[in-house]
A and B are shown apart, each in its own frame.
Chain A
């Protein structure tokens, strides 16, 4: 079960001729695949691609009607290998993942695929997680396309254009026997827009046909001498075929006047912001009617030399708008112009920043500088461009810089991973700091306040592997943290298997929350939900033991901070040799709440006895030291200023978003913090016995309380 239900979006996949699709870019892409007659789709979730995977997972009926095979792959390498179905058979296939991280994982399969070439159209949808809001290293997928010779599409951020390019992309792939990559940036994926739909197309050739009529051709297999022939094919046949197709089908676009002293060449993805920048300079209207010639490269690899030459021929200078580094396009275009001895000067990274988002603001500066250098007349009398510097330099605003606190992402309210790190904090205070290798996933938030645990992260599922060097006798042991997602992605072999084989005497914590939670809560092998279409409920512990793990501890309720702490201590101190594996399991609270909330409210409505738990703080017992918060960081555990002249510091307070996970109490108890926390259990629809018990108790309690109150001096009158 994913974090979101896409039941409604699935309906959009059924739209046909004459309908208008309105929605997210990534869903438009999904629809475009079905309009292109794909026979199979695979991939691995991860922002911004998750929604594509989630929708297809919820769209079984639609896919069955079309005879499309969908698989959520074990990892990106598996997804890329899936494309081999198109090597011998005229099957159109597509896979999707987050890039560059996913492409890193997939590159071995991709290189083999690209070398042998494909018969059926194959498309790789990469969510280019670059720039603001990105959760990964800042790199470009472009390099992968070039090194393996995979065509790279970079469409304008416009649903119509993206959809069209996907349909054309499959043709391109087929005429050039080469896989094609479609690069879409994060914001384009989550961009709301619309396009005119076509009917979905059933695959002409199905997977079943292929299975029943197997084909093979040793010439497609990467093994000498074929491998050498592949390289020649790439150069002599596939590249020219691709160039012709791109040119003949006008996949790249010319905009604005035919003539001009200067022009701008850009990646398709940059188009909208370039237009906005030109608008600020008075050189375009809001509808893209520009006064400067533009060459929009919806295909950024291969570069179409003849088109570039034609565009630059009569120009003094061109500006190349290419996000990220290195500046591959700028280099390629310089080569084109030098070879043909075309004199247009090439600007790009000299007026635009080498790295970072090319926002309208950044482009405004770059384009302005370019025009000042090359054709200042175009700037005319320079209409006022938006500018916030005056406000930002105002002392009042300067002062604000010191005030506004950082707000890093953190674990959700009631997250089952919180008590694990609270326990690690407690162990740290007893046994001192340890080297901790973090991994990719929600648990990576442990590196931020309040926990500040974790020294490195080397990639999904590689937390354990990244401690492998620390395999020596020492006073302390290394600790590695890995999620269930990373475990099944590759961590079982690269991490645990590696540690078993090399007798690594370290500690390995596997955080099992029943889903790949960071990517939106998709199911995996060890998910506890019973799924008709997949095989779930495969135990991580069994897998670890199966691969040779001896010291394995399963903790079925991570909220048991005391047990968590003791198990960690045992793992760090036991005499036993080899890896110490701790599997800490509790359901992701985000998904759990989605699951149980409706059930609970229904039960209450139906008059079933239901106990609702929530935590609270006795404000007169709390001394406002906030030690509890330093061991939690739960969004629902906050502070509040009391209206008490004798108090300086705010006290801890729990708001009504609390889900009663129990962490606060467990921590207060295990850390011997303070007695101000309480858990309130409210029994809805109590039984007669419940009522009777509480009635009797409260009668006596009330009498005792009144007795003591009588003896207290009446303080209300004072102060």
Chain B
């Protein structure tokens, strides 16, 4: 820049620095951002201001992320202000985000800056498709947004406006309008906001309730009501007396044989296992867990707070409670299940509920239930098997709470007695033992690797094709782990393998990592 330019003082042309109030509403299509926009425009116009709003309907509105933009300013002796059609990074007074990641997006667009922006955001999540389709846990980290807000926003008003709106029988736009009023960034009175809502016909009452609730929430700065999270550690171990006598023994064993670190998770596991089969099965669970804990101790687990035993308690329980037909039928016919659905639907008296299950049993599932020997004999008869499969293998609409269907499910759900002798149980047990064995071997030489091997159990899930895909990923991963086992960084590779396997369903990422491993191992 040339020297002369800095020294020259240039008188500002009129109120050059006085700019209109600018409000950006970032939302997803169908979130009522349009309604909110119209309200704000109306509000400004009611005060004699010139207000301009723009938006981009069309395909962007079909659940995609979109921006509504408003500018408003009083006219100057009859002259209208010239208003911009798009927000300018660093020059937005209020950003209203109808979803938490959208708040994050607005920060990335530079709309939120510490010198001027009040950020009004609902911290509830509507997951993007990318977060939902991951076979593992693809949910984005809210913390990152919270962190960035602290940096970017001048003032922040963050709470679950969606929940508040629903609680008041309304939609998020009303709550956000209330939050805007509460924030007091605009020089308009509380009542003038209400006038705008009242002018609109539909659902004005509900909107006003949500508006007021949000307004008070902001004004009083009341902390967000935290719903008590039931963390397993929060629960105190039960007094044995209160326990079912058949369980008391197991509970006692658990506390004696396992380190404190593994008690809570162990109890959860024990509960799941017994619930799946019976008390004896719970004993079996503790037996295996005991052996694994012994390996843990001799591998110096004490120094590591027995992470190995903890992981074992968790994943062994999952391995022992495989999803077979009996389990599904049992879960579907429980009393608690119907109660839960009635709760979700807020069923009122005088309404009748019926549910339909979409089941598609194949001969594989039936074989799984049969005694192992007989099932294997049957398996050797492809002709007969095919004939049977053609009769079994079709989609079935099961009317859960019609007597015939319920009784059928109830009977299947009660087949625990034959489960231990079933083919599925034989297969699962063999697979489980193999996995336990390799974990035990691993932990001897490389503690963390042992833990990782246990955690690979996470890969086995789903039904039918999904299940077999999971199994093959599991086997591939364990095979690959064997290749790197001798290395120092074996555990890191194991973790990498598992994480890759959870990224895409086809397992392309996993194969990639395996290739890398083969390149050096």
Question: Contact at B358–A717, with CB atoms within 8 Å?
Answer: no
Whether A240 sits at the interface, judged by CB under 8 Å, is no
Whether B199 sits at the interface, judged by CB under 8 Å, is no
Question: Contact at A193–B10, with CB atoms within 8 Å?
Answer: no
The closest CB in chain B to the CB of A614 belongs to: B345
Q: In the docked arrangement, what's the CA distance between A388 and B5, Å?
A: 24
Question: Contact at A377–B230, with CB atoms within 8 Å?
Answer: no
The closest CB in chain B to the CB of A273 belongs to: B84
Known: A192-B52, A412-B62, A674-B462. A639 touches B132 (CB 8 A): yes
A-side contacts of B61, CB under 8 Å:
409
Q: In the docked arrangement, what's the CA distance between A670 and B464, Å?
A: 12
Q: Mark B403-421, 1 if CB is under 8 A from A, else 0.
A: 1001100100110000000
Whether A211 sits at the interface, judged by CB under 8 Å, is no
B-side contacts of A664, CB under 8 Å:
358
B-side contacts of A135, CB under 8 Å:
58-60
Whether A401 sits at the interface, judged by CB under 8 Å, is yes
B-side contacts of A714, CB under 8 Å:
243-244, 247
Q: In the docked arrangement, what's the CA distance between A279 and B141, Å?
A: 39
B-side contacts of A680, CB under 8 Å:
341, 345, 353-355
A-side contacts of B63, CB under 8 Å:
407, 409-412, 635
The closest CB in chain B to the CB of A671 belongs to: B465
Question: Contact at A646–B318, with CB atoms within 8 Å?
Answer: yes
Whether B261 sits at the interface, judged by CB under 8 Å, is no
Closest-CB distance, A371 to chain B (whole angstroms): 9
Q: In the docked arrangement, what's the CA distance between A192 and B413, Å?
A: 62
Within 8 A of B (CB), among A619-666: 620-621, 623-627, 629-630, 633, 635, 637-639, 641, 643-646, 648-650, 664-666
Within 8 A of A (CB), among B45-63: 45, 51-63
Q: Which residue of the partner chain, among A279, A387, A626, A650, contacts B16 with CB atoms under 8 Å?
A: A279
Closest-CB distance, A195 to chain B (whole angstroms): 11
Q: In the docked arrangement, what's the CA distance between A231 and B418, Å?
A: 93
Q: In the docked arrangement, what's the CA distance between A716 and B135, Å?
A: 31
Q: Mark A373-410, 1 if CB is under 8 A from B, else 0.
A: 00011111111011111111010110111111111111
Known: A22-B45, A391-B152, A400-B144. A285 touches B13 (CB 8 A): yes
Question: Contact at B151–A397, with CB atoms within 8 Å?
Answer: yes
Known: A279-B16, A396-B148, A638-B126. A626 touches B134 (CB 8 A): yes
Known: A635-B63, A645-B232. A187 touches B86 (CB 8 A): yes
A-side contacts of B148, CB under 8 Å:
394, 396-397, 399-400
Q: In the docked arrangement, what's the CA distance between A290 and B351, Å?
A: 68
Q: In the docked arrangement, what's the CA distance between A84 and B269, Å?
A: 79
Whether B140 sits at the interface, judged by CB under 8 Å, is yes
Question: Contact at A377–B1, with CB atoms within 8 Å?
Answer: no
Q: Which residue of the partner chain, among B13, B147, B410, contacts A284 with CB atoms under 8 Å?
A: B13
Question: Contact at B247–A718, with CB atoms within 8 Å?
Answer: yes
Within 8 A of A (CB), among B6-60: 6-10, 12-20, 28-30, 37-38, 41, 45, 51-60
Known: A404-B108, A450-B133, A718-B271. A682 touches B351 (CB 8 A): yes
Q: In the docked arrangement, what's the CA distance between A412 and B150, Å?
A: 34
Q: In the docked arrangement, what's the CA distance between A635 and B62, Å?
A: 10
Q: Which residue of the partner chain, among B104, B133, B242, contacts A629 with CB atoms under 8 Å?
A: B133
Q: In the docked arrangement, what's the CA distance between A360 and B29, Å?
A: 25
B-side contacts of A71, CB under 8 Å:
none
Q: In the docked arrangement, what's the CA distance between A713 and B275, Å?
A: 8
Q: Which residue of the partner chain, among A275, A648, A669, A719, contacts B232 with CB atoms under 8 Å?
A: A719
Question: Contact at A285–B15, with CB atoms within 8 Å?
Answer: yes
Whether A338 sits at the interface, judged by CB under 8 Å, is no
Q: Mark B279-305, 1 if CB is under 8 A from A, else 0.
A: 100000000000000000000000000
Q: In the docked arrangement, what's the CA distance between A387 and B92, Å?
A: 11
Whether B331 sits at the interface, judged by CB under 8 Å, is yes
Q: Which residue of the partner chain, among A407, A614, A623, contacts B65 with CB atoms under 8 Å?
A: A407
Known: A400-B108, A449-B129, A641-B139. A627 touches B58 (CB 8 A): no
Question: Contact at A192–B53, with CB atoms within 8 Å?
Answer: yes
Question: Contact at A386–B89, with CB atoms within 8 Å?
Answer: yes
Q: Mark A188-227, 1 if CB is under 8 A from B, else 0.
A: 1011110000000000000000000000000000000000
Question: Contact at B130–A405, with CB atoms within 8 Å?
Answer: yes
Closest-CB distance, A666 to chain B (whole angstroms): 8
Question: Contact at B128–A48, with CB atoms within 8 Å?
Answer: no
A-side contacts of B45, CB under 8 Å:
22
Q: In the docked arrangement, what's the CA distance between A113 and B306, Å?
A: 85
B-side contacts of A643, CB under 8 Å:
229-231
Question: Contact at B104–A404, with CB atoms within 8 Å?
Answer: yes
Of the candidate stretches B218-226, B332-340, B370-378, B427-435, the one touching chain A is B332-340
B-side contacts of A646, CB under 8 Å:
265, 268-269, 272, 314, 317-318
Q: Which residue of the partner chain, among B238, B269, B332, B465, contacts A672 with CB atoms under 8 Å?
A: B465
* In the complex, number of A-B residue pairs with CB atoms less than 8 Å apart: 454
Of the candidate stretches B74-82, B208-216, B513-521, the one touching chain A is B74-82
Whether A283 sits at the interface, judged by CB under 8 Å, is yes
A-side contacts of B19, CB under 8 Å:
279, 286
Question: Contact at B335–A706, with CB atoms within 8 Å?
Answer: yes
Known: A386-B89, A404-B108. A713 touches B274 (CB 8 A): yes
Within 8 A of A (CB), among B73-108: 73, 76, 79-86, 88-91, 101-102, 104-105, 107-108
A-side contacts of B183, CB under 8 Å:
none
Q: Which residue of the partner chain, among B81, B126, B238, contacts A286 with CB atoms under 8 Å?
A: B81
Q: In the docked arrangement, what's the CA distance between A629 and B54, Å?
A: 34
B-side contacts of A271, CB under 8 Å:
82
Question: Contact at B16–A400, with CB atoms within 8 Å?
Answer: no
Question: Contact at A718–B362, with CB atoms within 8 Å?
Answer: no
Q: Which residue of the partner chain, among B107, B137, B332, B395, contacts A400 with CB atoms under 8 Å?
A: B107
B-side contacts of A22, CB under 8 Å:
45
Whether B507 sits at the interface, judged by CB under 8 Å, is no
A-side contacts of B334, CB under 8 Å:
705, 709
Q: Which residue of the partner chain, among B4, B141, B344, B401, contacts A377 with CB atoms under 8 Å?
A: B4
Known: A381-B9, A397-B151. A639 touches B139 (CB 8 A): yes
Whether B189 sits at the interface, judged by CB under 8 Å, is no
Question: Contact at B395–A670, with CB atoms within 8 Å?
Answer: yes
Of the candidate stretches A10-18, A138-146, A539-547, A693-701, the one touching chain B is A693-701
Closest-CB distance, B153 to chain A (whole angstroms): 10
Whether B110 sits at the interface, judged by CB under 8 Å, is yes
Within 8 A of A (CB), among B455-476: 458, 461-466, 470
Q: In the docked arrangement, what's the CA distance between A614 and B232, Å?
A: 32
Question: Contact at B14–A620, with CB atoms within 8 Å?
Answer: no
Q: Which of B30, B41, B133 has the most CB of A within 10 A?
A: B133
Question: Contact at B410–A718, with CB atoms within 8 Å?
Answer: no
Q: Which residue of the partner chain, among A275, A279, A625, contacts B462 with CB atoms under 8 Å?
A: A625
Question: Contact at B128–A405, with CB atoms within 8 Å?
Answer: yes
Whether A681 sits at the interface, judged by CB under 8 Å, is yes
Pick the 8 closest A-B CB pairs, nearest first: A380-B10, A388-B110, A133-B56, A47-B58, A386-B90, A285-B14, A409-B64, A719-B267
Please, could you name 29 A-B residue pairs with CB atoms under 8 Å apart, sorted by A?
Answer: A48-B58, A190-B56, A276-B84, A279-B16, A282-B12, A284-B16, A380-B9, A381-B7, A381-B9, A382-B5, A386-B113, A391-B110, A391-B151, A394-B148, A399-B144, A407-B102, A409-B61, A449-B129, A624-B461, A639-B127, A646-B269, A648-B458, A674-B463, A675-B328, A678-B357, A681-B355, A694-B401, A713-B274, A717-B247
Q: Which residues of A are interface residues toward B (Cβ below 8 A)? A: 22, 47-48, 50, 132-133, 135, 157-158, 186-188, 190-193, 271-273, 275-276, 279-280, 282-291, 357, 359-361, 364, 372, 376-383, 385-392, 394, 396-397, 399-412, 442, 445, 448-450, 518, 562, 614, 616, 618, 620-621, 623-627, 629-630, 633, 635, 637-639, 641, 643-646, 648-650, 664-666, 668-675, 677-686, 690-691, 694, 696-698, 700-702, 704-706, 708-709, 712-715, 717-719
A158-B80, A286-B14 are known contacts; what are 14 more A-B pairs with Cβ within 8 Å?
Answer: A48-B58, A192-B37, A282-B10, A288-B81, A406-B128, A626-B133, A635-B63, A665-B358, A673-B462, A679-B358, A680-B353, A683-B351, A700-B403, A705-B333
